[in-house]
Structure 1
Amino acid sequence: MLSAGLLLAGMGTPPARAEQPAAALQARYVALQDQLSHNAYRRPLFLDSTEAKDGLKGDLFVVIDHPFATVSQALQVMEHWADILILHLNVKGCRVVSRPAGRTLLVSIGRKNDEPLDQAYPVSFGYRVAAAQADYLHILLHADTGPMGSRNYEIALEAVPLKAGRTFIHLAYSYDYGLAARLAMKGYLATIGSDKVGFSATASPPGGAAVLVNGVRGVVERNTMRYYLAIEAFLGALAVPAADQLEKRLHDWFAATEQFPVQLHELDEAVYLAMKRKEVRQQPSGPDPSG
């Protein structure tokens, strides 16, 4: 029988343990110090995007002025994500529904302008708290299918605490698309979306303005930013009485998007507020009829 020493010698050096998610996100915070400190966002934020053959992903990293305990407690409540997502222009409705497979977020996707709820496309997002620790939070929202043959929608949020009552967040938004979705996107980018840009710079000529990404990367970056600003608006409204929180969320989200008018301006404030108030009032109550 081999001795323990010979057995270990024969096995070689044990493989290093994979870095824990909290430590990995903290390390990412350290690695991004330059980008967080020097950018055009007027806040400690870094946004990037990637385009694969059949999919898109936006990654946003940001330091927010909310304690980790507040962030973790608020974002672990599934109903709060309905309050967050409906701030987005294209979300016509969002509520928690109970189905045989479990509770889901039923998100109705439509046009940026006022549109009847029954004309929007329903997307069912599964919701999971993947990790909720004293120093790490991981939330996953996933939908198998979306409008026009798109699929594998995912909104993933990670968070870790920082000093001075702040929190470092990584928000990832991604989806895959098939032929129908690709053709629809091509049509959009060739017409009303032809002058739209994202946030990442593809080039910075000496003495000239940065050249910003456009096309499908611009689309995913704009929506990733919109979802992040919705999270910020939700967290910021927690400090006011519950009866006033909706109005504060709406005003704060619109004001935040207007800080980036080139990328995010779509509607006048009065039009946005009237549309969203109407959409919130029209949210059905009771069980989901399609379930």
Structure 2
Amino acid sequence: MKSFRWLAALAAASAFALPALPVHADAASLRARHADLRDELRNNNYQRALHIDSTESPNVLQGDVYAVLDHPFVKVSQALKEPAAWCDIMILPFNTKYCHAGGDQLQVRIGRKYNQPAEQAFKLSFGFRNQIVGKDYFETRLNAPEGPIGTRDYRITVSAIPLEAGKTFLHLSYSYGYGTVGRMAMQTYLSTAGASKVGFSMSKDANGQPVLTGGVRGAVERNAMRYYLAIDSYLETLDAPADQRNEKRIQSWFSATERYPKQLHEMDRSTYVTMKRQEYERQQTAMN
């Protein structure tokens, strides 16, 4: 039962990751990707300029989000180069119970269930590194070598380029590796509590009909979407008075997720807001 709960937590809201699979590592390739996705970014069902995809290999799950942000590139790159900013981002998804930045390290705690005390949640230690912070390309990475229930190599890459009209094209890539124990636990979760959950991209069923992607790919897509929405909520509140930012982020993230209730709804607003107010307060202090 404990392993089942941990995999549910991972499927719901664990962490970002830089995948072992290829990622776009320079401005030219990210511009090319933007050109490839131009029509889809303008015409989709997401209610915003967004593309989500996922990949499943024998030992790695990867989720990718490409999005046009309504924020200038300088604002995005300067904000996301700071470790403390990532804690303000990562705390927003409901199963993240704690995040504290110290130097180039982020200490994160992930709960098996949304109301688990932070002291009982699983610890993930992320190394933080800015790869490039330039005038036309930004890339930052996080990596945690170990996770719960046989999972490993949690990684993040977030890269971005400037667009016209003061906008930014962002790529968020998230992945983790797993072994036999992790695979079995995830299969158990997906055959029980996670059986009806779906992602965002379309695949085909046994009859060749289009359906929303489910299974482990659906889980990765849900997680990637939660964190993309957290980044966007963080950025859109930076211009608010400092003493109002946390509250605005909490409210903004919940409202954004409720646009996709089939995939992302987990609790009512009051429960979420009360919980996150407490967790924002707690993350100001280092835990052992």
In the superposition, the TM-score normalised over structure 2's length comes to 0.88
Q: Partners in 1 of 2:72 and 2:49 — Cα distance?
A: 16
Which residue is equivalent to 2:47? 42
Which residue is equivalent to 2:187? 186
**Which consecutive unaligned segments of at least 5 residues does structure 2 have?**
1-23
Q: Partners in 2 of 1:255 and 1:76 — Cα distance?
A: 26
- Of structures 1 and 2, the one scoring higher in RCO (CA 8 A, sep 6+) is 2
Which residue is equivalent to 1:162? 163
Number of residue equivalences: 265
From the CA coordinates, give the structure whose radius of gyration is larger: 1
Amino acid at match of 2:133: A
Which residue is equivalent to 1:259? 259
Please say if residues 89 and 111 of structure 1, whose CA atoms lie closer than 8 Å, have aligned partners that are also in contact.
no
Shift of 1:204: 9.1
Which residue is equivalent to 1:196? 197
Matched, 1:108 2:109: yes
SS, match of residue 147 in structure 1 = coil
Shift of 1:281: 2.3
Deviation digits for residues 206-249 of structure 1 (CA, Å, limit 9, x no counterpart): xx984011110010000000000000000011111000000000
Please say if residues 52 and 221 of structure 2, whose CA atoms lie closer than 8 Å, have aligned partners that are also in contact.
yes
SS, match of residue 198 in structure 1 = coil
Q: Partners in 1 of 2:261 and 2:254 — Cα distance?
A: 11
Which residue is equivalent to 1:77? 82
Q: Partners in 1 of 2:25 and 2:271 — Cα distance?
A: 46
Shift of 1:111: 3.0
Deviation digits for residues 81-129 of structure 1 (CA, Å, limit 9, x no counterpart): 000000011210001135xxxx310110113421101110000011010
SS, match of residue 194 in structure 2 = coil
Tell me the C-alpha RMSD between the 2 structures.
2.0
Matched, 1:97 2:102: yes
Please say if residues 95 and 107 of structure 1, whose CA atoms lie closer than 8 Å, have aligned partners that are also in contact.
yes
Question: After alignment, is 129-138 or 31-40 more displaced?
Answer: 31-40
Which residue is equivalent to 1:4? none
Q: Partners in 2 of 1:283 and 1:174 — Cα distance?
A: 25
Deviation digits for residues 33-64 of structure 1 (CA, Å, limit 9, x no counterpart): 12212211011111100000011000110001
Which residue is equivalent to 1:27? 32
Shift of 1:181: 1.6
